[in-house]
Amino acid sequence: MIGGSWWMTAVVGLLVLGLLAIVLLRGKQIQTFTREVKGELLKASWPWDPKERGMKKYKELIDSTLIVLIAMVLLAGYVGAWDFLMLNLTKAVTALAQ
C-alpha cells in the first residue's frame, strides 16, 4: 500500500493506468508534437551567439535581466511611496473628521 491506506493506492494506480493509456493511445501525436516543438526551437533567435565562449556569450541576457530588475525596484519604490503618501493623507483626513 502507498501512503498507508488502500484508497491512496487505488488513486495512484488509477493515475498510472490513465497515464499509460494516454501514452499508448496518443503516442504518435506526442511524438509529432515533440518533433514540431524541437523544429520551432531551432528556428528561434536566441539572445547569444553560439560561437562566443564564457560569460561573453550571455552579455545581452545579463544586461536585459539587470534592466528588468532595476525597473522592478524603481516601480516598487514608486508604488510604495504613493502608498505611504495616501496612507498618511487618509489618516490626516480621518483625524480631522473626528
Q: Give 8-54 pLDDT, tens digit per residue.
A: 788 888 888 888 888 787 778 888 888 999 999 888 877 667 677 77
Question: Same structural domain for residues 91 and 60?
Answer: yes
Q: How far is Cα 34 from Cα 36, in angstroms, rounded to an integer?
A: 5
Q: Note down the domain range covering 8.
A: 1-44
Whether residue 1 contacts residue 8, with contact meaning beta carbons closer than 8 Å, is answered with yes
Structure confidence by residue, pLDDT tens digits, 35-48: 999 999 888 877 66
Rounded Cα–Cα distance for residues 2 and 83 (Å): 51
Task: Mark whether 40 and 52 lie in a shared domain.
Answer: no
If asked whether residues 33 and 72 sit together in one domain, one would say no
Taking the whole predicted model, whether its pTM rises above 0.85 is answered as no
Secondary structure (3-state) at 1: coil
Q: Where are the alpha helices (DSSP H) in the chain?
A: 6-43, 59-97
Whether residues 63 and 29 share a domain: the answer is: no
How many domains does one find in the chain? Answer: 2
